[in-house]
Structure 1
Amino acid sequence: MSRGRATSDGSQAFRAGDAAPVTGRRPLWPSRLHLWPLVLALSLLALLWFGPLPARAQGSFAAHMVMHMGVVAIAAPLLAIGLARLWPGLMAGIPAGLALAASFAEFVVIWGWHAPALHDAARVEMPLFVAEQASFLLAGLFVWATALGTAEEGPRGKTGAGGDTSGLGARAAGVAGLLMTSMHMTLLGALLLFSPRPLYACADLCSPAASMTPLEDQALGGVIMLVVGGAAYLTGGLVLLASVLRGPPGSAMPETAYAADPFPPTTTGRDAP
């Protein structure tokens, strides 16, 4: 297949029949392979919500926590990365205040739904269960998207808000948002793990896991939150911090869709000049 001819600015001018136009060193439209985070996120959400877990979660706090962590700690970051690749620049130039607000919003959502009255109601009422799961996804996506967006270039090569061309404050806020979320998830997980009594009325509302008491089931849920939730947001914060320390976003590539991507696509032969 023809690769076209080189123009004066070094980009490729493609003729009819070529796969995709290329700007600089990267395709204008990402290949299907580059969208694997988006595909994986949607597949995981389908498995979590339409598989056996919703029915199992009615009788097991630990199963409910598996759904929760699968949504906010695995599907949400993959979805944020996939959307950033599908629409380059969509999340660019996120201000510091928005990144911190996203972290606070997720704190309210997570701790609110784990209040005994709301949690018990969501275990037995389908409309509340749907609202809970939807708010988990939206809050998680809000945090991850704003955190990644703070490390992308904004309009006219700026990052973050105001006239700070380095965007250091915004990028620091993105890192802080992920790390603060990791901290409050760790705290909630520890509370569930070390509580001397069941915090929820699962023993009366539903049938707990046959092999565990309600307290053991709750403790297992706390371990899942500690290991998956706390670790995922901590890892995300550290990866984003490393990308910030490497230098200003966009310094090595003109496109910003991959600036904060922890899994940047590899450049193929088609993408090379």
Structure 2
Amino acid sequence: MVLLWTWHSPAVHHLLLRSPPAGLTFHATLLLAALFFWLSLLTTSAASRWQTIPALLITGKLTCLLAALLIFAPRTLYRFSGHLADAPGHVSLHHALEDQHLAGLLMIIACPLSYLVAAVIITVQLITRAEVSAAPMPDGRLPIGR
């Protein structure tokens, strides 16, 4: 989350636009951090799988907070972003603000949806695991101490 919020800070965003190697490095770092996060959630042992739910809730909320900041900001947070449409004299700042709001809307739709899907899958796995472990044994005994 620190990387995501740092990436979206105006000062770092401006630095990354001026230096393509820094931008590429930061994108790679953000991708590796995201892969590490999702792989750690997916490879959690069954016994501690419930601990992934709070991690999903916290990171999902922080992502939504960043998206809301982009959506409801009354002014543009980023300077010239390098897009042809944002070239000086071509488009007003109003277009840049609309672009920022659209980016926040896309983020607030896609990110929480992925967290919600992951949380539902993990919860279903936890519920089915609990039902299987509570099922009686073939000889009719309950699995106490198993």
TM-score when scaled to structure 1? Answer: 0.43
State the distance in 1 between where 2:112 and 2:85 align.
Answer: 25
The code of the aligned residue for 1:238 comes to: V
Give the conservation status (yes or no) of the 8 Å contact 1:208–1:217. no
Choose 171-180 or 129-138, whichever is displaced more: 171-180
Q: What value does the CA root-mean-square deviation take over the aligned residues?
A: 2.3
Equivalent position of 1:100 in the other structure: none
Which of 140, 145, 149 aligns to 2:39? It is 145
Q: Per the alignment, in what secondary structure is the counterpart of residue 246 of structure 1?
A: helix
Percent of aligned positions with the same letter in both sequences?
Answer: 32
* 1:218 and 2:96 aligned: no
- Corresponding position of 1:176: 54
Measure, in 2, the Cα distance between the counterparts of 1:136 and 1:128: 12
Q: d(CA) in 2 for partners of 1:201 and 1:117?
A: 9
Q: Which residue of 2 aligns with 1:233?
A: 115
The Cα offsets for residues 11-44 of structure 1, whole Å up to 9 and x where unpaired, read as xxxxxxxxxxxxxxxxxxxxxxxxxxxxxxxxxx
In structure 1, what is the Cα distance between the partners aligned to 2:37 and 2:53? Answer: 10
One-letter amino acid matched to 1:246: T
Residue pairs, 1:58-137, within 5 angstroms: 107-137=1-31
CA-CA distance at 1:134 after TM superposition: 0.7
Displacement of 1:123 after TM fit? 2.2
Give yes or no for the alignment of 1:247 onto 2:129: yes
Q: State the match for 1:91 in structure 2.
A: none
User: What whole-Å deviation, never above 9, does each CA across 1:110-143 have from its counterpart, x for those lacking one?
Assistant: 0011111111111231111112211121111111
Name the residue aligned to 1:3.
none
The AA in structure 2 aligned to 1:243 is: Q
Deviation at 1:199, TM superposition (A): 0.7
Aligned length: 127
In structure 1, the gaps of 5 or more residues are 1-106, 153-158, 160-166, 252-273
TM-score by length of 2: 0.76
CA offset digits 1:57-105 (Å, max 9, x no partner): xxxxxxxxxxxxxxxxxxxxxxxxxxxxxxxxxxxxxxxxxxxxxxxxx
Q: Structure 1 counterpart of 2:6, which letter?
A: G
Q: How does 1:43-58 map to 2 (within 5 A)?
A: none
In 1: Cα distance, 2:80 partner to 2:127 partner: 46
Q: State the Cα distance separating 1:231 from its structure 2 match.
A: 1.3
| Equivalent position of 2:139 in the other structure | none
